[in-house]
Amino acid sequence: MSTTGRDLTRRLGLLLALGAAATLVLFVAYRGVHDDTVPLASSSTPGILAVDTAKNALQQAHRVVDGSGPTGDTTGDTTGEFHTQISVAHQSIAVAASENVTGPADRHTLQTVTGLITVYSAWVERAGQEPKAVLRGAYLHYAEQGRNDILDRLDDLRNEQLEVARGQASFPWPLWLGWGAALVLGLALCAALVEAQWFSRRRFHHAVHPPLLAATVLCAAGVAVLGWFTVRAHRAMGDSLAELRETRGADEIPEAGANVERYLADAGFWASLSEWVLFGGVLLMTLTLVGLWPRISEYRFRVPR
Amino acid sequence: MRRPRPRTLGIVCVCLVLLVAGVVAGVRWARGWTGTVTVLANWSGGEREQFERAVRRFEEEQRIDVVYQGSSALSQVLAADVAAGTQPDVAVLPGPGELMAYAAEGRLQPLDGLFEAGDYDRVWVPKVAGEDGRQGTYWLPIKTGLKSMVWHAGDLPKDEMSEATDIADITEIAGEPGRWCVAMESGATSGWPGTDWVEDILLQQAGPQVYERWATGDLSWTDDRVRKAWETWGDLVGAGDGERVERMLEDAYDQDCSRQRLEHQGSFRGTAWKLVDGDFVHSAEVIPGARPDSDHWEVSGDLAAMLNATEEARKLIRFLADPGTGLPDFTANKKAASPDSDEDPMKRKIGTILHGSEQKLCWDASDTMPPALRNAFHQAVLHFLVSPDELEDQLRGLEALRDGRGPTLPVCGG
């Protein structure tokens, strides 16, 4: 009695189960990495660099105050540099707040910093209008204390933002596990498809079974391409993180931003492929079904009674 | 024994994987926050740690994340937040003046029903008018502080009869301007230690009625009694004394004070003075010209108000009003543990005054004033230290800002 029908049915079941499992695991593992590339590029990086810009602007503003001679105020600042830098600081804080890297705590800190910058510039301006040297000195002292407070808060905020970016660029053990499982399932699926091809070839004397061959190529190419994109994305995130690790000077910030933009230029494309994983999985299973079902049908009515 | 079939094994494996995934997801969910409440206050350092320690239980029990921001520029930050519509859920302000203005503008959410106002003396939780003119409860005292205190090292000579520190010695030290620790720096609110001085001197010299009239805008800043309070302070600390004044202006209000000196500061300084076995006397004992029967104390309070009536904010207010919540010193809740049970004698002494003398407590006057006047008062104090001879100009400037309508809340108890 021939067992071909039963063998084919078993193979089809196994291939469909492996196909579904590999698709789901690959989808989750892929998203696990690529879901973080876009936020790193579009939110964390601008947020961190905006905080750096605000810090630099405040330091530059205070240099104007320090450099204005023994009076130590902004009355000698004929270029308006002090106010320009305060304006830059305010705008950068607004950008950092809109990026909302660390959630409500982030916004809350930045709102407080905005108020502190206002107080800081008020002390400096008061010093500029004060004719008595002792009071002028005291006001500038208060301004300096305020500036130190602001910089400390921005440092703390930056560390928290960097921690978020680190989390986004990391490859923790669940991802290793996911990608390990995806590779094992992908290999197992390819091997099972090749074996089904061999089996079909032996029993039905066909040189090649096109749908099964297409499914095998799709599986191998899909896993390889997605794996390659993931390696590239992980490397790009690592490079981006290296750009953000240290606080940048005012001149270096645009360059750092451009570098991160370059590293993660394809992040949107990589991330958009995740939906295609599911589509590819369905296609692969359809090809498997199309390849084996007609043969199984031939045996459906030959089952011994 | 029969070996299980591969299909059975497969099903068992799938079930195990699903179970593990479920457990992991469940643990993650249980560990996560169910909500957030933002709190703005002016505490930093130790005070902030105390508050954060106190609300940790709330966070653990309710799974609500308390996001805290502390700043000495609280007033400016809150004003900007409110104007931008991004106000914190809960703000803790020192004193009722600013809160009354926010309540009248309809910016505060009423707290009626969230806690029992009767658990607090009326001076701490008065009913004030909201936007619609209806009286309601708009704040909850989180911690209170005693002022009108003069700190000294505990090793001053004692009176042989009473074993108490000899007041005559303290008065003698107080007569030398160089023996006072005076420090005005406090970020955005620099100058407030000086306003405390002037207020306290007025309270002890002129009495609570005059003090209350002045605090509520019913007494001119150019009144002789007010002027006398400023001049008394100037004489005590040596206003106009070049180098010393420079130090006074730049020293931080919470910096260490040498044990050979006196310090006019509130109960928050107890921890620092305790290190040198310090003690305090009522400021009326050392203020020249204080009324013989002067027994009123200036007090301060950090008051929590709700700006967004979220469920998380309501829960936090209920938690903070619970007598069992271990809030930072000193609670005004009459149902909380009695100060007599405190092991620390200093805390026991301060707690007893705060709890047992409602009739003799007066709000820090500047905390009840409108923010613009309060800020001008801070500035005037700094100016006065440098140029006491220009006092009249400062007083006229403050008088120009006086709003005769005044707040309707009681400034002094009783």
Same structural domain, B124 and B151: no
In a domain, A163, yes or no: yes
Residues of chain B neighbouring A137 (CB-CB closer than 8 A): 246, 249-250
Instruction: Indicate the residue among A170, A193, A214 that finishes a domain.
Output: A170
Q: Which residue, among B347, B337, B354, B351, has the nearest Cα to B413 in the 3D structure? A: B354
Interchain proximity B382–A137, CB inside 8 Å: no
Same structural domain, B291 and B378: yes
Interchain proximity A135–B383, CB inside 8 Å: yes
Same structural domain, A74 and A158: yes
In a domain, A57, yes or no: yes
d(CA B315, CA B322): 11
Mean pLDDT of chain A: 88
Count residue pairs from A and B with Cβ separation < 8 A.
Answer: 81
pLDDT digits (tens, 9 = 90+) for B32-70: 778 999 999 988 888 888 899 999 999 999 999 999 988
For Cα atoms A215, A221, A222, give the angle at the middle one, nearest 5 degrees. Answer: 85
Residues 6+ apart with CB under 8 A from A198: none
Interchain proximity A146–B67, CB inside 8 Å: no
Predicted confidence at residue A203, as pLDDT, reads 77
Question: What's A266-278 look like in SS3?
Answer: CHHHHHHCHHHHH
Q: In this predicted complex, what is the ipTM?
A: 0.85
Predicted confidence at residue A98, as pLDDT, reads 86
In a domain, A217, yes or no: yes
A11 confidence band (pLDDT: 50, 70, 90): confident
Instruction: Indicate the residue among A170, A203, A238 that finishes a domain.
Output: A170
Q: B24 CB near a chain A CB, below 8 Å?
A: no
B80 confidence band (pLDDT: 50, 70, 90): confident
pLDDT of A133 over the 70 cut: yes
Q: B258 CB near a chain A CB, below 8 Å?
A: no
In a domain, B7, yes or no: no
Residues of chain A neighbouring B52 (CB-CB closer than 8 A): none
Same structural domain, B376 and B255: yes
Residues of chain A neighbouring B86 (CB-CB closer than 8 A): 107, 111
Q: B176 CB near a chain A CB, below 8 Å?
A: no
Same structural domain, A299 and A195: yes
Same structural domain, B235 and B303: no
pLDDT of B106 over the 80 cut: yes
- What total of structural domains would you count in chain B? 2
pLDDT of A2 over the 60 cut: yes
Instruction: Indicate the residue among A149, A170, A191 that finishes a domain.
Output: A170
Interchain proximity B250–A138, CB inside 8 Å: yes
Interchain proximity B249–A134, CB inside 8 Å: yes
A75 confidence band (pLDDT: 50, 70, 90): low
Residues from A contacting B (CB-CB < 8 Å) are 103-105, 107-109, 111-112, 114-116, 118-119, 132, 134-135, 137-138, 141-142, 145-146, 149
Same structural domain, B382 and B250: yes
Report the residue of A9, A102, A111 to disrupt the B interface, i.e. the one with the largest count of B CBs within 10 Å: A111
In a domain, A41, yes or no: no
Which residue range forms the structural domain that includes residue A152? 46-170
Interchain proximity B249–A116, CB inside 8 Å: no
Which residue range forms the structural domain that includes residue B125? 35-145+299-357
A267 vs B44, which has greater pLDDT? Answer: A267
d(CA A244, CA A242): 5
> Judging by DSSP bridges, how do beta strands B279-282 and B135-136 pair with one another?
unpaired
Of B67, B187, B382, nearest to A135 by CB-CB distance is B382
Residues of chain B neighbouring A145 (CB-CB closer than 8 A): 185, 187
Q: Which residue of A has its CA nearest to B44?
A: A149
Interchain proximity A137–B77, CB inside 8 Å: no
In a domain, B14, yes or no: no
Predicted confidence at residue B20, as pLDDT, reads 67
Q: Taken in order B237, B242, B245, B251, is the CA torsion positive or negative?
A: negative
The shortest C-alpha distance from B350 to chain A (Å) reads 32
* Contact indicator for A225, A195 with CB cutoff of 8 Å: no
The shortest C-alpha distance from B27 to chain A (Å) reads 16
Q: What is the largest CA-CA distance in chain B?
A: 106
Q: B276 CB near a chain A CB, below 8 Å?
A: no
In a domain, B17, yes or no: no
Residues of chain A neighbouring B245 (CB-CB closer than 8 A): 134
Percent of chain B with pLDDT strictly greater than 90: 53
Interchain proximity A109–B187, CB inside 8 Å: no
In B85-176, which ranges are continuous DSSP H helix?
A: 97-104, 167-174
Interchain proximity B69–A108, CB inside 8 Å: yes
Of B36, B81, B185, nearest to A104 by CB-CB distance is B36
* Contact indicator for A217, A282 with CB cutoff of 8 Å: no
pLDDT digits (tens, 9 = 90+) for B145-173: 999 999 998 776 665 555 556 677 788 88
Same structural domain, A30 and A175: yes
Residues 6+ apart with CB under 8 A from B273: B151, B153, B257, B263, B279, B280
Same structural domain, B242 and B140: no
- What total of structural domains would you count in chain A? 2
Instruction: Indicate the residue among B357, B372, B389 that finishes a domain.
Output: B357
In a domain, A39, yes or no: no
Q: Which residue of A has its CA nearest to B185?
A: A142
Same structural domain, A92 and A186: no
pLDDT digits (tens, 9 = 90+) for A190-203: 999 999 888 888 87
Same structural domain, B288 and B340: no
- The helix or strand, by DSSP H or E, that contains position B301, with its residue range, turns out to be strand B297-306
Q: Which residue of A has its CA nearest to B67?
A: A105
Interchain proximity B69–A107, CB inside 8 Å: no
Interchain proximity A145–B185, CB inside 8 Å: yes
CA distances from A89 to A86, A246, B236, B249, B411 (A): 5, 19, 43, 28, 41
pLDDT digits (tens, 9 = 90+) for B186-244: 988 999 999 999 999 999 999 999 999 999 999 999 999 999 999 999 999 999 998 89
Interchain proximity A111–B73, CB inside 8 Å: no
Interchain proximity B71–A137, CB inside 8 Å: no
Residues 6+ apart with CB under 8 A from A303: A5
pLDDT of B324 over the 60 cut: yes
B182 confidence band (pLDDT: 50, 70, 90): very high
In a domain, A40, yes or no: no
Same structural domain, A131 and A50: yes
Q: Which residue, among B265, B258, B257, B271, has the nearest Cα to B192 in the 3D structure? A: B265
Q: What is the DSSP letter of B110?
A: P
d(CA A72, CA A87): 20
Residues of chain A neighbouring B65 (CB-CB closer than 8 A): 104
CATH number, domain containing residue A97: 1.20.1440
Predicted confidence at residue B163, as pLDDT, reads 56
Of A114, A119, A134, nearest to B246 by CB-CB distance is A134
In a domain, A300, yes or no: yes
Predicted confidence at residue A305, as pLDDT, reads 46
Residues of chain A neighbouring B40 (CB-CB closer than 8 A): 108, 112
* Beta bridge partners of residue B37, listed in sequence order: B66
Same structural domain, B110 and B186: no
Same structural domain, B241 and B373: yes
In a domain, B293, yes or no: yes
Interchain proximity A119–B73, CB inside 8 Å: yes
Same structural domain, A208 and A145: no
Q: Which residue of B has its CA nearest to A147?
A: B187
pLDDT digits (tens, 9 = 90+) for B6-32: 666 665 665 666 566 666 656 665 567
Predicted confidence at residue A29, as pLDDT, reads 93
Mean pLDDT of chain B: 87
B406 confidence band (pLDDT: 50, 70, 90): low
Averaged pLDDT, B262-287: 91
Same structural domain, B275 and B327: no
Same structural domain, B209 and B219: yes
Relative orientation angle of helices A173-204 and A274-300, to the nearest 10 degrees: 30
| pTM of the predicted protein model | 0.83
Same structural domain, A17 and A75: no
CATH number, domain containing residue B347: 3.40.190.10
Same structural domain, B183 and B261: yes
Same structural domain, A175 and A29: yes
